[in-house]
């Protein structure tokens, strides 16, 4: 009797895992609106088996997303234990991008605050953010990440990387763009500079090269940083 019960429970666990795996694949292929019947077909079980484990589509989606977050949490914890802080942080971000781009739609759930108010998913999302924040702060203390970014910045940047990788059919080319983007988090890569953009009307800059200019208190506004840029602009106007 006990053996039979244990066997039934093992079968139920296996069926649940099959449904979760099939649901993750189906959503990656067809989006969040994939029918439960399609998920059951991919899992090789009947629709009744799906409903026994997940009484609603919402419950199934929550379980799939929570599982994905738990996988990422485990990845972050492993990296924190095995690698130096900066290496662990950037490796974790690449794990997020690669896994999420394959499974699809997870970034909407990770970044949203109100779309999925289910307790299981809320707990997983909170733990994920804690792991991300811990890795970020450790890398910043080690001097490997610029100090002016916070976890929300990293989440937004990572979500953009997922979209970039998903949109590129050439995966190596997409990964190259992802690496270039994430390198902007390093202090040795000043992708932003303390000078005005040339289209900012409140901050004068050279109309030719973009170098910041000191505004004149009186007279006509200065347009160029020097004679070289002034002559270059003049030649361009003549050629046009």
pLDDT at 7: 55
Alpha helices, DSSP H only, in 83-202? 85-103, 106-111, 119-141, 151-167, 171-182
Percent of the chain topping pLDDT 70: 75
* Cβ pair 162, 97 in contact under 8 A: yes
Q: Is the pTM of this model over 0.75?
A: no
Instruction: Give me the pLDDT at residue 88, please.
Output: 96
The ranges of the chain annotated as CATH 1.10.10.60 are 12-55
- Could you give the count of Cα atoms lying within 13 Å of 89 in the half-sphere of its Cβ? 26
Distance of CA 113 to the CA centre of its chain: 15
The backbone torsions φ and ψ at residue 159, rounded to the nearest 5 degrees and listed phi first, read: -60, -40
Q: According to the CATH classification, is domain 60-189 in 3.30.379.10? A: no
- Look up residue 236 and give its two tokens: 């361009």
Could you give the residue range(s) of every CATH 1.10.357.10 domain in the chain?
60-189
| 3-class SS shares of the chain: helix, strand, coil, % to 5 | 70, 0, 30
**Please, which residues bridge with residue 212 across strands?**
205
Helix (H, G, I), strand (E, B) or coil at 181: helix
Average pLDDT value for residue range 163-171: 84
Tens digits of residue pLDDT in 29-45: 777 778 888 888 988 88
- Using CA atoms, how far residue 212 sits from 166, 198, 205, 224, in Å, is 38, 8, 4, 9
Cβ atoms of 230 and 224 within 8 Å: the answer is: yes
| Cα 213 from Cα 10, distance rounded (Å) | 72
pLDDT at 37: 84
- Which residues 6+ apart lie within 8 Å of 28 measured at CB? 102, 103, 104, 105
Q: In CATH, what number does 12-55 get?
A: 1.10.10.60
What is the arithmetic mean of pLDDT over 163-175?
86
Quickly count: other Cβ atoms within 10 Å of residue 107's Cβ: 21
């Amino acid at each position: 009797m006990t053996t039979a019960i244990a066997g039934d429970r093992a079968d139920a666990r296996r069926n649940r895992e099959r449904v979760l795996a099939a649901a993750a694949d189906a959503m990656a292929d067809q989006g969040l609106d994939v029918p439960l019947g399609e998920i059951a077909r991919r899992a090789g079980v009947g629709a009744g088996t799906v409903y026994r484990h997940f009484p609603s589509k919402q419950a199934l989606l929550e379980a799939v997303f929570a599982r994905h977050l738990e996988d990422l949490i485990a990845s972050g914890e492993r990296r924190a234990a095995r690698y130096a802080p900066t290496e662990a942080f950037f490796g974790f971000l690449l794990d997020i991008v690669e896994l999420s781009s394959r499974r699809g739609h997870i970034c909407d759930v990770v970044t949203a605050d109100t779309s999925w108010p289910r307790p299981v998913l809320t707990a997983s999302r909170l733990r994920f953010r804690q792991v991300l924040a811990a890795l970020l702060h450790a890398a910043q203390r080690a001097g490997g990440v610029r100090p002016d970014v916070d976890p929300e910045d990293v989440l937004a940047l990572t979500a953009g990387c997922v979209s970039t990788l998903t949109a590129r059919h050439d995966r190596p080319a997409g990964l190259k763009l992802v690496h270039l983007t994430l390198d902007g988090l390093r202090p040795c890569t000043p992708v932003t500079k303390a000078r005005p953009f040339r289209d900012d009307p409140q901050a004068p800059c050279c109309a030719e090269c973009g170098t910041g200019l000191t505004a004149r208190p009186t007279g006509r506004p200065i347009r160029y940083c020097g004679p070289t840029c002034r002559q270059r602009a003049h030649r361009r106007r003549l050629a046009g």
